[in-house]
Structure 1
Amino acid sequence: MVSQATMPRRGTHVDQKAKHILIVGGGYVGLYTGLRLQRLLRNELRSGRVRITIVSPQSYMTYQPFLPEAAAGNLSPRHVVAPLRRVLSKVRILNGKVTKVHHANKSVTFEPGTGPSKEIDYDILVMAAGSISRTLPIPGLTDAAIGFKSVGEAVALRNRVLALFDRADSTDDEQVRRRALTFVVVGAGFAGVEALAELEDMARDAVRYYDTLSEDDLRWVLVEASDRILPEVGPEMGKWTLEELRARGIDIKMRTLLESCEGGHVALSDGDRFESATIVWTAGVKASPVVNAGDLPLDERGRVKTTTRLTVAGTRDAFAAGDVAGVPDVTNPGQYCAPNAQHAVRQAKVLAGNIVRHLQGRPLVEYRHKYVGSVAGLGLHKGVANVYGVKLHGFPAWFMHRTYHLSRVPTLNRKVRVVADWTLALFFKRETLSLGEIESPREEFKAAAATG
């Protein structure tokens, strides 16, 4: 019997024996797999012989490489996400999370945002739940820090930085000012470096509008445990990035650990101690916790154990890809595919094709993609790139960064909106004001109610 939770939209014929494809996760892999299956299984979906369901906590997919630009105000936050229901018109979207996978019974436990949990049956499972921030048991981290993986975190961080400018400009207390104008980013991979560089670039524009503040009052600190930053772009470009950021006055601490940050009091392993009202944690990711709540095999890194054909190892009717999956890299034997958008988008294409082949009883194909390199934005007109061995920095790299990621943004609608934002930025200055009250809109009303 087909549960109400997985029924297709009204007006669609339902075959009680329809093959049900359940995709856990609505990120890169979830969206692109669903999008391609819509095309490849158009007739089957129309006739009701196949049904597709995506379970995702959000009703949209976030294009994470554009989060730094959203945080800096170069892009509208709404333009770095793709609405799942609009893009996947033939797919049933359920908002909530899968709390347990019972693949032996071909069912999952689904927990909606509100209401009781329910069981959803399937014929084919796709694990595409992505990753979450990998944290460490550092005193104060949970209370004092913010991550940088969601559009909500990017917007909150932007509002926080600008609100702290307001706070510093409105007080004569030097300790309050110093704390407000000290910003710490932990982790020097893509997320950390791009977030810090874009925010620092935005701050240079914003500080000019404050009578008592100057660029010299701002302190930006990047904390990295290893001896390299941006390892994805190679040693040479990583060194150039290091020199570029230091030339902008950013304090970069290599081979340094965050020991504690209780109450905003930052203690580093090099002995440095200072106060900061903004601590951003970008020191790595780990597979979604759903992988630990089920009967799918895991690899040594806690990811779903996956074959080169994107099937779950030793399991029938189950596929996996993206950050949640340990996919062997056939172009680099002994290694795994990196957890990034470049692989996720391409894996989704192969995964969807293999699902169709599986339904038709045809042989599956291997996922094969040689990593072509990386691009990173470091603020307006600044960037670094290493693509096919070609190393660029400055404006050419920045232009390549934008061009490449624009080509990867899903749907023409979103591409046009992104280009429109960039075009307007050529003629008008970006907005540098905090709208922090949108994160707690009832506070003013509650205060008014309290006064009677």
Structure 2
Amino acid sequence: MTTPLPAAPRPRRTKRILILGGGYIGLYTALGLRKQMSREDVEIAVVDPRSYMTYQPFLPEAAAGNLEPRHVVAPLRRELRGCTLVTGSVSEIRHADRRVVVEPIEEGESYELAYDELVVGLGAVPRTLPIPGLAEFAIGFKWVEEANALHNQVLGKMDVAASTWDPALRRRKLTFVFVGGGFAGIEALGEIEDMARDAAKMFDGIRREDMRFVLVEGAGRILPEVGEELGGYAIEQLRARGVEIHLNTFLESCVDGYVKLSSGEEFEADTVVWTAGVKANPVLGSSDLPLDERGRVRALPTLQVAGDDGVVPGAWVAGDCAAVPDLTSDTPGATTGPTAQHAVRQARHLARNLARHLRGEPLEDYAHKNVGTVASLGLGKGVANVFGVKLRGPVAWFMHRTYHMWAMPTFNRKVRIVLDWTTALFFRRELVALGSLQSPRASFVAAATDTPRAQPSPPAEPR
């Protein structure tokens, strides 16, 4: 009797890892996972409508002309070698089928992507309110495009104000409103006011006293993350620079630049910057993943998605769109805050845990105690609370720059940022308004519209 040969082993199928979002979570998770596992082990794809990761803490300096805008972003295609970048927007997540629906950013029909393991790092979007005129008139401050647009907006309005004899128009052009007293709003206001003060020296007809900077905050204080004492110090410093601060006040309307506050004050402004908080990406509402009351994906300390009956197989989450338990807090049910500190550390921890899961090893819980907070109030000005030590002025500002330069992803971008700062020691910051960047075809369209149409040639005379 012939003994049958043993069956040949089936080739191991490469696992497909799909990462939604190319921010902190997407970049650091993909980098960490690729360092630990080869292409034969896992295929990694990152989906994001932008081909770069924005380092948001540096947006105020980019808006103020201290940093080149391209230097505060990390190009994903260069950094994520060995990974696939899909440029598109996620419109639906069907985890039960292990598929997501992707919408192309310009043309083409939507399509599906299949996966074995899903990492959700879609982050947050601005939390807006149904305020009349907000969507049509205000500008956000979350992306490098918005920081660059704000830079051009402020300097462009100063150009117009310096060239008009209409006092009402001049006041409108030189009034700048910032809504929101958190990190984004205060740092943007501090840097932009500092830039405008510097730029005023180039205008014969504009003084700092001619410009009006207004901060609108619904709470009774600003910068709650740094504590009441340092928040109060920041208020004193900004008011000493002529900034109007309206606490316990809300924006009620800004239709066509006519600003109405809940305090009853009304005035005109051409610039309204909205930085009043964020919310979890609303795409999560089009998914079958379990969400908490704030629309965030529920997570376990291992950064796996938490279902009603325990772990949701094949799903991981981190960052601003995740409700990650804060194991260092004494408050029951506390979750980690939406900070860059947590996002970077969670992404690296998620990459290690995912690699352990694929190798059949035990997972570890994420736990990180916040080491402190730093905030810039303009060039050479800032506040910081590091390990309980409260710092003010140039020392805090130096801590702010040092920490964020260290946290900036990629050695390439670190070097470019340091070079920008070094150059600024010998030359003035960039104070040129390139407003045409927002509408580069405007001058061409105007020229084409004004060109008289060619007249038909008269018929030739018969010979």
Interval containing the TM-score (normalised by the shorter chain): over 0.9
One-letter code aligned to 2:78: R
Instruction: State the distance in 1 between where 2:12 and 2:217 align.
Output: 55
Runs of 5+ in structure 2 lacking a partner? 1-10, 452-463
Counterpart residue number, 2:41: 49
Helix, strand or coil at the partner of 2:304: coil
Counterpart pick for 2:122 among 129, 154, 160: 129
| 3-state SS of 1:376 partner | strand
**112-121 or 66-75, which moves further after superposition?**
112-121
Report the counterpart of residue 313 of structure 2 in structure 1.
316
Shift of 1:59: 0.3
Deviation at residue 241 of structure 1 after TM alignment: 0.5
Which residue does the alignment assign to 1:3? Answer: none
- Structure 2 partner of 1:445: 444
Deviation at 1:211, TM superposition (A): 1.3
Structure 1 residue matching 2:204: 3-state secondary structure: coil
Q: Give 1:341 deviation, angstroms.
A: 0.4
Q: Point out the more displaced range, 192-201 or 107-116.
A: 107-116
2:31 aligned partner, one-letter code: L
Distance 1:365 1:292 in 2: 29
Question: What is residue 112 of structure 1 aligned with on the other side?
Answer: 104
**After superposition, where does 1:191-202 map in structure 2 within 5 Å?**
191-202=184-195
Tell me what 2:65 maps to: 73
Deviation at 1:16, TM superposition (A): 8.4
Letter in structure 1 aligned against 2:90:
V
CA distance in 1: counterparts of 2:34 and 2:415, whole angstroms: 23
Q: CA RMSD in A?
A: 0.9
In the alignment, what sits opposite 1:175?
Answer: 168
- Quote how far apart the aligned CAs of 1:294 are: 1.0
Task: Please give the TM-score of this superposition, normalised by the length of structure 1.
Answer: 0.95
Name the counterpart of 2:457.
none
Aligned pairs, number: 434
Structure 2 residue 214 is matched with structure 1 residue 221: yes
Judge conservation of contact 2:19–2:44 (CA < 8 Å) in 1. Answer: yes
2:277 equivalent among 274, 279, 284:
284
From 242, 247, 266, the equivalent of 1:273 is 266
C-alpha distance in 1 between matches for 2:299 and 2:320: 11
Measured in 2, the distance between the counterparts of 1:261 and 1:439 equals: 22
User: Where does residue 4 of structure 1 map in the other structure?
Assistant: none
Larger radius of gyration: 2
AA aligned to 2:56 is Q
Partner of 1:144: 137
Mapped to 2, the partners of 1:139 and 1:225 lie a distance apart of: 17
2:357 maps to which residue? 358
AA of the residue aligned to 2:257? G
Large movers: runs of 4+ above 3 Å: none
SS at match of 1:146: coil
Contact residue 34 and residue 82 of structure 2 kept, 8 A = yes
Query: Secondary structure of the equivalent of 1:375?
Result: strand
Residue of 228, 234, 243 corresponding to 1:241: 234
The one-letter code matched in structure 2 to 1:344 is: A
Code of the residue aligned with 1:20 in structure 2: it is R
Q: Which residue of 2 aligns with 1:23?
A: 19
1:401-416 map, 5 Å: 401-416=400-415
Distance between the aligned counterparts of 1:142 and 1:225, measured in 2? 19
Residue 49 of structure 1 deviates from its aligned partner by 3.0
- Which residue identity does 1:395 align to in structure 2? P
CA distance in 1, matches of 2:34, 2:361: 19
Q: Is 1:373 aligned to residue 372 of structure 2? A: yes
Counterpart of 1:346 in 2: which secondary structure? helix
Q: CA deviation at 1:155?
A: 0.2
For residue 54 of structure 2, the aligned residue among 53, 56, 62 is 62
Return the offset for 1:451. 1.4
SS of equivalent residue, structure 2 residue 335: coil
Which residue of structure 1 lines up, in the alignment, with residue 30 of structure 2? 34
2: CA distance between counterparts of 1:213 and 1:410? 39
Paired residue for 1:11? none
Q: Offset of 1:50 from its aligned partner?
A: 1.1
Q: Map Cα deviations across residues 164-204 of structure 1 (whole Å, 9 max, x no partner).
A: 00110010001100000000000000000000000000001
Q: Aligned equivalents of 1:401 and 1:239: distance in 2? A: 18
The residue aligned with 1:348 is 347
> For the residues of structure 1 that align with 2:136 and 2:286, how far apart are their CA atoms?
26
Partners of 1:140 and 1:111 lie apart in 2 by 29
Match of 2:460 in 1: none
Task: In structure 1, give the amino acid aligned to 2:144.
Answer: V
Paired residue secondary structure (2:74): strand
Contact kept, 8 Å, 2:282 with 2:295, in 1: the verdict is no
**Counterpart residue identity of residue 33, structure 1:** T
- TM-score of the pair, normalised by structure 2: 0.93
CA distance in 2, matches of 1:178, 1:277: 9
CA distance in 2, matches of 1:19, 1:110: 20
Question: Aligned partners of 1:355, 1:436: CA distance in 2, in Å?
Answer: 45
Aligned partner of 2:84 among 81, 89, 92: 92
> Identity, % of aligned pairs?
59
1:204 equivalent in alignment to 2:204: no
Q: What stretches of structure 1 of length at least 5 have no aligned partner?
A: 1-14
- SS where residue 429 of structure 2 aligns? coil
Contact 2:121 2:319 in 1 (8 A): yes
- 1:350 and 1:168 map into 2 onto residues whose CA distance is 51
The C-alpha deviation readout for 1:148-171, integer Å capped at 9, x for no partner, is 000000000010000000110010
Output the CA distance in 1 between the equivalents of 2:336 and 2:245: 29
Aligned AA (1:262): V
Q: Give the drift of 1:364.
A: 1.2
Asked whether the equivalents of residues 374 and 400 of structure 2 are also in contact (C-alpha less than 8 Å), the reply is: yes
Deviates more, 1:279-288 or 1:107-116: 107-116
